[in-house]
Amino acid sequence: MTWEKIYRCFNDCPTGIVLVDKKGNIRDVNNRLKNILGLVQDKYHETIHSDYQEIIYNKLAPVFNSENQYIKAVLKTGNTLFDIRCTLKKIDDTPVTLFMNMGPTFDENNCLDGIISTIEDVTDQKIQEEEREKLIKTLSHQSRELTELHTVLKTLIVHREKEIGEIEEKIAFNLRSLVIPYMEKLSNSQLNTSSRIYLDIALSNLNDIFSSYGATLSSKKYRLTPRELEVADLIRQNKSNKEIAEILYLSVRSIESHRRWIRKKLGLQGKNINLRNYIRSIK
């Protein structure tokens, strides 16, 4: 291969190339590197050689000089250095991030006579990396904020549950101390049968307030209707179908139908389980 072909390959190479002599001075650069530095072909052909050389050398000078640590290392050891990253300025002074490898070159006597450096423009990759790091930092910050918010909400919920518990305790205390004693005294007085039945139901229902019985039966697990809750409560109090019918002003047949639906919803259909005992076991 002639030197002309070799030089054409050098200039047409899709990777930027810099040739440096053993004193650290630039000997030549290829067209790809000129493009990387912002020299448009038409413009640099119109520039006299000395001016073009000066422009290129000035832009590469921060890295390609005799005092550069990488240049010194390659010239001293003869070893190739990989993955060197640096930032230079283009012709219009906009920054360009370069990714370089540097290796030794040898003359016909196999003596080290300079350096060859391949250069890639990784500015877009750097921008993407910076955007990715910025996104990671943003997501990390948001994650910490969400964690802190979760902790605050958890604390508020615990505090709220404590407040609700205290309110429930106060209501229960007031009912036990201010309401139920008078209802019990009324129960011991002379009442007709109907009044006594309703008073007993009221006392029983007040006692239910102190437990989760009603809320349990009306929950999504059982889905008892309001009427079925009334029937279930009276069954729990050991009322017969006839008594329940009289209290709720319904027929005995209606109460029997409600019983069947209650057993079905409680999962007792076809099972030999006493309905009253099962209802009383629900907490």
Domain assignment present for residue 71? The answer is yes
Do 135 and 87 share a structural domain?
Answer: no
Do 159 and 64 share a structural domain?
Answer: no
CATH code: domain of residue 74 = 3.30.450.20
Structural contact between residues 27 and 53, judged by C-beta atoms closer than 8 angstroms: no
pLDDT of residue 255: 93
* pLDDT greater at residue 221 or residue 46: 221
pLDDT of residue 238: 87
Structural contact between residues 203 and 187, judged by C-beta atoms closer than 8 angstroms: yes
Q: In this structure, which long-range contacts are made by residues 87-92, counting pairs with CB atoms below 8 Å and at least 24 apart in sequence?
A: 88/37, 88/59, 88/60, 88/62, 88/63, 89/59, 90/36, 90/37, 90/38, 90/59, 91/37, 91/38, 91/39, 91/55, 91/59, 92/38
Average predicted confidence (pLDDT) for the chain:
83
Confidence class for position 258, pLDDT limits 50, 70, 90: very high
Which residues constitute the domain of residue 232?
A: 211-283
Domain assignment present for residue 264? The answer is yes
Domain assignment present for residue 200? The answer is no
Cα 113 to Cα 75, 105, 106, distances in angstroms: 9, 6, 5
pLDDT of residue 52: 64
Q: State mean pLDDT over 189-200.
A: 81
Confidence class for position 120, pLDDT limits 50, 70, 90: very high
Domain assignment present for residue 201? The answer is no
Cβ contacts of 106 within 8 Å, gap of 6 or more: 112, 113
Do 230 and 161 share a structural domain?
Answer: no
pLDDT in tens, 58-91: 888 888 888 889 999 998 999 999 999 988 988 8
CA 11 from centre of chain = 50
Q: How many CA atoms lie within 13 A of 33 on its CB side?
A: 25
pLDDT of residue 41: 56
Task: Say yes or no to pLDDT of 144 above 50.
Answer: yes
Q: State mean pLDDT over 131-139.
A: 89
Confidence class for position 44, pLDDT limits 50, 70, 90: very low
* pLDDT greater at residue 282 or residue 132: 132
pLDDT in tens, 176-187: 667 777 787 787
pLDDT of residue 283: 62
pTM reported for the whole predicted model = 0.46
Confidence class for position 49, pLDDT limits 50, 70, 90: very low
Task: Say yes or no to pLDDT of 211 above 70.
Answer: no
Q: State mean pLDDT over 32-58.
A: 67
Do 141 and 114 share a structural domain?
Answer: no
Domain assignment present for residue 170? The answer is yes
The residue type of 216 is T
Task: Say yes or no to pLDDT of 213 above 70.
Answer: no
Which of 21-25, 98-102, 170-174 has the highest mean predicted lDDT (pLDDT)? 98-102
Do 116 and 29 share a structural domain?
Answer: yes
Last residue of a domain, one of 160, 191, 222: 191
Which of 130-139, 252-261, 265-274 has the highest mean predicted lDDT (pLDDT)? 252-261
Last residue of a domain, one of 191, 222, 248: 191
The residue type of 24 is G
pLDDT of residue 240: 92
Looking only at the bridges linking them, the beta strands covering 112-121 and 26-29 are unpaired
Confidence class for position 103, pLDDT limits 50, 70, 90: very high
| Dihedral pair phi/psi, residue 183, rounded to 5° | -70, -35
The encoded tokens of residue 191 equal: 């009442």
Q: State mean pLDDT over 144-155.
A: 90
Per the structure, how many domains does the chain have? 3
Cα 108 to Cα 26, 49, 78, 112, 197, distances in angstroms: 20, 28, 16, 10, 121
Confidence class for position 210, pLDDT limits 50, 70, 90: low
* pLDDT greater at residue 243 or residue 191: 243
H, E, C per residue of the chain: CCHHHHHHHHHHCCCEEEEEECCCCEEEECHHHHHHCCCCHHHHHHCCHHHHHHHHHHHHCCCCCCCCHHHHHHHHHCCCEEEEEEEEECCCCCEEEEEEEEEEEECCCCCEEEEEEEEEECHHHHHHHHHHHHHHHHHHHHHHHHHHHHHHHHHHHHHHHHHHHHHHHHHHHHHHHHHHHHHHHHHCCCCCHHHHHHHHHHHHHHHHHCCCHHHHHCCCCCCCCHHHHHHHHHHHCCCCHHHHHHHHCCCHHHHHHHHHHHHHHCCCCCCCCCHHHHHHHCC
The encoded tokens of residue 205 equal: 């229902």
Do 151 and 54 share a structural domain?
Answer: no
